[in-house]
Every structure is written in structure tokens, then in C-alpha cells.
Amino acid sequence: MNKKVAVILSGCGVYDGAEIHESVITLLRLDQRGAEVQCFAPDVAQLHVVDHYSGDEMNETRNVLVESARIARGQIKDVRALHAADFDALIMPGGFGVAKNLSDFATNGAGCSVQPDVLAACKAFADAGKPVGMMCIAPALAAKIFGAGVACTIGTDHDTAAALTQMGAEHHECEVSEIIEDRQRKLVTTPAYMLAQSIAEAASGINKMVDRVLELAHH
């Protein structure tokens, strides 16, 4: 029986939203493995908008749900409509949108809070013991979702790892092609573009993470 997987996006574009390569690799792998997927995003304004050509901040506002719909080809729902009971697993791609729109980790670091609708949705999966996959910077939210002692990785960046540790997470260094699994909590994480130098490198770990999340969903 095909598993149903929810994917939470954080906008569209690495600097102010969801990392597009990570999101597409995730959606592709889920489809290849026969999973039924529904994308979600919070209906909130982005922290800011970045010109991905120049890298400069732009004087305009955009909505996280509307921008995420670009990646999902319009097939997306407000994260408030995400009910863990309807799905077997949850996956969250990275990108600065996780740290800027799904939380305020980008500005407040270890003292950050998670956007309430996103936190409620993620906690429901954790409380139900359903597998969760996170990549890139997304594991920065792990301690807020799963509590102190959760094992995860953002790769090898010491400053970010220190912030995660300060928040109560147990950080494990990890190569781009590998995954870290917290067996008790069914959380699977991989560094993706925290370390990847190419789309193929990003895919090497993301595919393993998606495969493991689906395996856990079948157990």
C-alpha cells in the first residue's frame, strides 16, 4: 500500500524560501518510490524577499504559501490543514526559508521560536510516533519539535551545530551522502546543501533520507 507523505515548504528560492533543488529531489524520490504526496506551507508573509540574481534584498513582500505553490505546481494547502492522522510521514526540505519563514532561527539563533501553525503540525507527527525527515538547515527546528536530546545533523558547520546543541539537540557530524537517524523519535536528517557542492551530491543524501523515512513508515 502506497504511503502518504506531507511535505512542508517555506517559499521558493534558497535565500528567502525553500531550496528548490532539495524540494524537487525530495518530490521526485517520493514519486519514484510510489508515495502519495501533498505539499503544505504557512499562509504568512516572508521575512523579506531576496533577488536571487544579485543577492540583494528587494523592496517588496511575498506570501510563503503563494511562493511555495510555484514548486508544488499549484497543488498545495495551508499548513493549518495538515493533520498528522491523514499521513504516514512528514518531510521538510531546507533553504533559508526554514530559518526565516518557518522560524526566526536566522535572526534569533538558539533563542528562536517556530511559526505556530508549522510547530503544531510537526509536533503532531512527533507525538504520533510517525517518521519525519529533515534536511539542510531544517534540523535547526528539531529540538523545538521533539524536545531535548533529539539526535540530528546539519553536516559539519560548527557554529550552526553549536546553536542546535544550545537548543538541546544532540548534533552528529555527517557527510553529505549520509543520514543521521534518531531511532527513538523516528527522525532522519541529512546535510544536503549545508555541504553539497552539486545537485548530485545533494541527491545522494536526500534519496537515502527519503528511502529511510518510507521504510520507517512501513514498520
Which residues are part of the catalytic machinery? 136
Convert the pLDDT of each residue in 104-123 to its tens digit: 999 999 999 999 999 999 99
Grid coordinates standing for 163? Answer: 546553536
Place 97 in a pLDDT band, splitting at 50, 70 and 90.
very high
What is the rounded CA–CA span in Å between residue 176 and residue 154?
9
Query: Cβ distance 107 to 23 under 8 Å?
Result: no
For residue 49, pLDDT over 80 is answered with yes
Average pLDDT score, the chain: 97
Place 219 in a pLDDT band, splitting at 50, 70 and 90.
confident
What is the rounded CA–CA span in Å between residue 23 and residue 91?
10
CA distances from 170 to 26, 136, 142, 148, 154 (A): 25, 16, 10, 8, 11
Nearest to 21 by CA among 66, 62, 52: 52
Convert the pLDDT of each residue in 122-160 to its tens digit: 999 999 999 999 999 999 999 999 999 999 999 999 999
pLDDT of the residue at 39: 98
Domain that holds residue 162: 4-218
Nearest to 55 by CA among 23, 88, 15: 15
Number of separate domains in the chain: 1
Grid coordinates standing for 115? Answer: 511559526
Convert the pLDDT of each residue in 180-200 to its tens digit: 999 999 999 999 999 999 999
Query: Cβ distance 17 to 48 under 8 Å?
Result: no
84 burial via Cβ count (<10 Å: 0-12, 13-18, 19+): buried
19 burial via Cβ count (<10 Å: 0-12, 13-18, 19+): buried
Nearest to 115 by CA among 77, 145, 85: 145
pLDDT of the residue at 1: 74
What is the rounded CA–CA span in Å between residue 49 and residue 113?
21
Convert the pLDDT of each residue in 57-85 to its tens digit: 999 999 999 999 999 999 999 999 999 99
For residue 215, pLDDT over 90 is answered with yes
DSSP 3: P
End-to-end CA distance of the chain: 12
**Tally of CA atoms within 13 A in the half-sphere of 193 that contains its CB:** 19
Convert the pLDDT of each residue in 21-35 to its tens digit: 999 999 999 999 999
Q: What mean pLDDT do residues 80-109 have?
A: 98
Domain of 89, CATH number, reads 3.40.50.880
Nearest to 17 by CA among 114, 97, 107: 97
